[in-house]
Each structure stands twice: as structure tokens, then as C-alpha cells.
Amino acid sequence: MLNKGTYTPAVKAWREANADKVRATKQRYRASAKGKAAKHKDDQLFKASGGRAEAEKRRAEKPLSPARKAARVRWRKANKAFFAANIAHRRALARRPVTGGPAEQAEVEGFYFFCQLFPGFEVDHVIPLNGKDVCGLHTPTNLQVLTKTQNRSKGNKVCLDHIQPDPVAIIYC
């Protein structure tokens, strides 16, 4: 048997060299009955330990190092469009499920990236996500770029006189 000190670097090197094999093995395990049972058991243990609230409490007790915080800040600044699109997407998912793949998500991120490059603009939902009579979806066909003043003056209203929205992007509440 190998000494733990020599075994760990060897395993780490093999995993880095064979990332595809490791990924495929993990996917097969998660898809198997044994992997699903393990996930279910982990979920139950997580709930029994107090769930998200307890996890956040434990995280607060052991704060991040200043170097790790700085790295997170740098990454977040470098990926502002991703965060803006992700936050809007999560808000939209809380209201309505969105069907779409990575291409649609990339197109939505493009709207937010444009607004990051040109600070005077904001992404607007043509049909508001939570309107009085209709609810729109967080899809590229329901997004438009407006100036900040136009977007803020429009508010949570629908103005169908000037636009022809995609009927697929409208859900009647």
C-alpha cells in the first residue's frame, strides 16, 4: 500500500490527465440506482442537519480569507453580464418556468453584456414578468434594450400599440 503522502499527488495527477474519464464515471454513478440513493440520503441528512439556514450559519462562523474574497470580487467584476442575466433568470424562474437551452441563455446574457458595455442602457421585458393582466417570459423574444429613463418611465406596463411581441412569450394570467 502506498503512503498517503505519495498517493494523493499521483491520484491528483491522474485525475487531471484523465478529466473526461473522471467526468464520465461520475455521470454514470449519478445515473445509477446506487448514485440516486446516495443523493437521496445526502438530501435527507442535509435537511436533518437544519438545511440551508444551518449551512449559512456554519459558513458565517468560518469567514473567507481576504485573498479568497478578493478573488471572488475580481471574478464577479469580470463576469458582470453573467451575474445580471443569472439574477434576472432566477427572478423569472420564480414566476414562470422557462424552456430553452444554452443558446437561449447565451442570447439573454448578450443583452445584459451590451448593457454592461453601455451604462446608459437597461434590459427591459416587453411583456412584464409580473404584469396585471399578462405575464411575460424571460426569453430573448421578450427582451429589449432601452435607455434607463425609457425603462423606468415604462415601469411594469404593457404598451402593445407600438410593439408586436412574440405570442409565444406571453402567458395569460
- Could you tell me the residue range of the domain that residue 147 belongs to? 75-172
Residue appearing with cell numbers 503522502: 5
Which parts of 32-165 fold into alpha helices (H)? Answer: 33-48, 51-61, 66-78, 80-95, 102-117, 148-154
End-to-end CA distance of the chain: 65
pLDDT of residue 4: 58
What is the Cα–Cα distance from 16 to 8, expressed in whole angstroms? Answer: 12
pLDDT of residue 94: 61
Mark whether 139 and 112 lie in a shared domain.
yes
Mark whether 88 and 114 lie in a shared domain.
yes
Q: Residue 9 domain-assigned?
A: no
What is the Cα–Cα distance from 30 to 26, expressed in whole angstroms? Answer: 6
pLDDT of residue 67: 93
Q: Which of 52-56, 87-91, 121-125 has the lowest mean pLDDT?
A: 87-91
Q: What is the pLDDT of residues 1-44, one digit of tens each?
A: 455 566 678 888 888 899 899 999 998 998 898 988 888 888 88
Shortest CA distance to 107 belongs to which of 96, 94, 119, 98?
Answer: 98
pTM beyond cutoff 0.75: no
Q: 130, 158 in Cβ contact below 8 A?
A: no
Give the chain's domain count.
2
Q: What is the pLDDT of residues 106-154, one digit of tens each?
A: 888 888 889 889 989 988 888 887 766 777 777 888 888 999 888 888 8
Q: Residue 65 domain-assigned?
A: no
